[in-house]
Chain A
Amino acid sequence: MWKTPFGPIVERVIEVNGLTRRFKRTLAVDDLSFEVASGRVTGFLGPNGAGKTTTMRLILGLDRPTAGQATLGGRPYRSLRRPLTHVGALLDATAVHGGRRAEQHLRWLASSNGLSARRIGGLLELVGLGEAGGKRISGFSLGMKQRLGIAAALLGDPATLLLDEPVNGLDPEGIRWTRQLLRSLAAEGRTVLVSSHLMSEMALTADHLVVIGRGRLLADAPISELVRPGTSLEDVFMELVSEGAR
């Protein structure tokens, strides 16, 4: 732990160290190192295919790294007991079984980590699915599935959140709602890592940015440092990505 000049005490929670993942001939993630601190929203930016999802899967232990490691609070994800109480993750919101009701989906998930089902009703209210909780997921729009995925991530009241493109498919109201939710979660001292390829959205949501391209780290800096007056995040991003491609 250390003190930043202005803000609250921050802690390095997610540590990615020399992380590498090779799929046959392509290097999806290439010697990637960065840290994610608590108490702020960290945007994980990169063009499509940059390795954002692969990195998140490696952090969550869904895939094994070719080299390097990723830890949460100093421990690999797979060693966490009742992991949902430490980390909430949203990877692919459409990866749910349509035959179940929203409330049933959250119930098995809660049960798998010995969590009480009592929070489910309140969480469904929180994400705006209070009415739809008893409906089958097959009838949900992509935006509703994203909201359900966010409810699932919050189920264990985790100190760390990993969200892969959570605003995909959301309408402007939903995007705004997600942004405010992420900012308030960070303000509570939680660690929030959120990936996106939408720069304008990240400019509004994130405090800190980790930018990758072709699996490599391109930038790791506070947003205020990256975006100088007179430039937009989009300009900066394009510049970084084209430099990275060289």
Chain B
Amino acid sequence: MPGEMDEIVAEFLVESYESLDRLDRDLLALERDPHARDVLASIFRTMHTIKGTCGFLGFVKLERIAHAAESLLAGLRDGSMSITPQTAGVLLATGDVLRLILRQIEASGTDGEDDHDALVDELGRLREAPPDPAAPPAAASQPASRPPRMRHGRGAGIRTAVTDTTVRVDVSLLDRLMTLVGELVLARNHLVEMASDRADPALTSATQSVDRITAELQEGVMKTRLQPIRTAWGTFPRVARDLAVALDKRVRIETDGDDTELDRSIIEAIKDPLTHIVRNAVDHGIEGPEVRVAAGKPDEGVVLVRAYHEGGQVTIEVADDGAGIDLDAVRAKAVETASMTPEEADRMSEREAIDLLFLPGFSTADHVTEVSGRGVGMDVVRTNIERIGGSIDISSRRGEGTTFKIRIPLTLAIIPVLIATSGEERFAIPQANLLEVVGVVPGSIETLHEVPVYRLRDRLLPVVSLAHELDLERDEEAPAGRFLAVLQADDRRFGLLVDGLSDPSEIVVKPLGPQLHGLEVYAGATILGNGRVGLILDVVGLAARAGVISDVHERLLDVERPAEASRNARALLVFADAAGSRMAVPLDLVDRLEGFPRAAVERSGPDEAVPYGDRILPLLSLQDLLVERRRAPRRGGEEMAADLQVLVHRRGDDLVGLVVGQIIDIVEQPLELEAASRPGVSGTMFVQGRITEILDLPGLLETHEERLRLDVAASAGAAS
């Protein structure tokens, strides 16, 4: 008997949660159109049902609130009062309190100690004294011509039809079915492999049948796990409304493709990123009403959320008709934070500038509005979407709005992988992360500042050894890896050194136990074709563990756009530092090249300077700026009798002289930087066939700014 009761309560909870979601939607619709009697009827019905059921189940506190709300709704329904934003707000808040109590019932079986007197009083007060009719909007009256009962009857009819053809199934059963289908896929793979070896026509034909039926079954079971995306964005109108009220904006959420279906695990995974994007759109995208009217737009902003199928994937768009992304602000921010020169920032295409928004810690919040402070940036949104095999893209037009486009796979449970071997151990690598596979010969892996790299079409690829990263036991005699799997994770690209790689196969992802949850290098486990358990590598986690550096420039100046690359060809000044290492700096950062006799150098304390025209040029030794790692012989005087080689760099109105070892050449080629190896260097690349470090001149000077400021301010003052 208690078991039966529990079941009734559980059903009540499920239905009530659904009803409250509908209540939210209906209230927002009613606020928009106060005369939609069918909507009002639906709200009334919802509240009435909740009241009735919880009375029956003995949840008196819940019943009391529902009763108060129902009375208020009755007043709205009989026309003695009309809905105002205030009433709507209180009714929405009622929905929230009801949800809270439901959760309490779920957790403890009782509806709690709190009587929620304040809410009940408020509902009663609104019922007794309808708010001032002058209060906005909803004042303009219109005869209620639609018969209120008609929709009711039809609605009930549809409900019966739906319950006739659907059943409620426990999610854990669906998960179990999915698991079984996964195993069937593995068994099928095994069978197909065996049949192809035997060349037995009967076996082949039977295998083909199994193959076909498995594929159909897989598709069917996947479909049972699909949920309409509505469940992920059902709360958005409410989120947007509350945020808009807080920001004094007028915002409407429109949705399209609510019935687009996705695997429930994916729906769960995208809910938070999507919510973040929608909040962003309301917060940063949509302007205030005055600004909008001044720009010739309606005072109410629209955020359109839509989903549709496209080529085996689902695309979700969040488009606002707001101000668009202020690219100048983004560029300014890039100069400030991403160690980019103003020249570089100016040269960035729109695409590249927008891409910056995905960098960790890169926020436009401080120059638009400041409601955010939620601690999640677009980088987290992007990581979460990429974790489920999706991608995200932003397009924006100044003054017209911003569109986020997210593409995600339909399902997660079965994924294509390659099996990598290292010694005796086998690991699965998701194919979604794999760009290509290259065979490597001994000696083709070089080191750059103790970091192994591989030249892939003249680009330097950081190399991560699987055996080394995972502490695998290896036969010392064995050759150190024969294949490089070129992997991409977030904005990191690296080569994973393994002994062998199999052809792609489909595997079923299974989660790891709680004892292993702290291991970021694994995405899960699977049963391999030979029946053993195999671990699935998490490429993002592996890159993070190996410390693969993600570099702004690497992504901005991606080599995969050759047309742009040649347009981006830049003049580089190549030189050697005092220790003889090859370095280069974009020529446009160099105002002039000068040679000064050593005798001309004047010292004041630790600082050095030379007279330069009618000013004083402060000198900085590159060697002193790059104090890291290498200890080079300081220029001593006697053996370096030649003139000082100086790059004159302009910072605003000021000039700085950078003392280098020797000027080598000026070359013209696109900047295709590999990850930076040390501070003060933006990256490395091949120049004239040799590895050359590209100096981050503005960044270097930044660190010496304090010291510079004094000297330079004085000399600039003297000059003007």
Decide if A and B are genuine partners: no
Residues in chain A within 8 A of chain B (CB atoms): none
B interface, CB within 8 angstroms of A: none
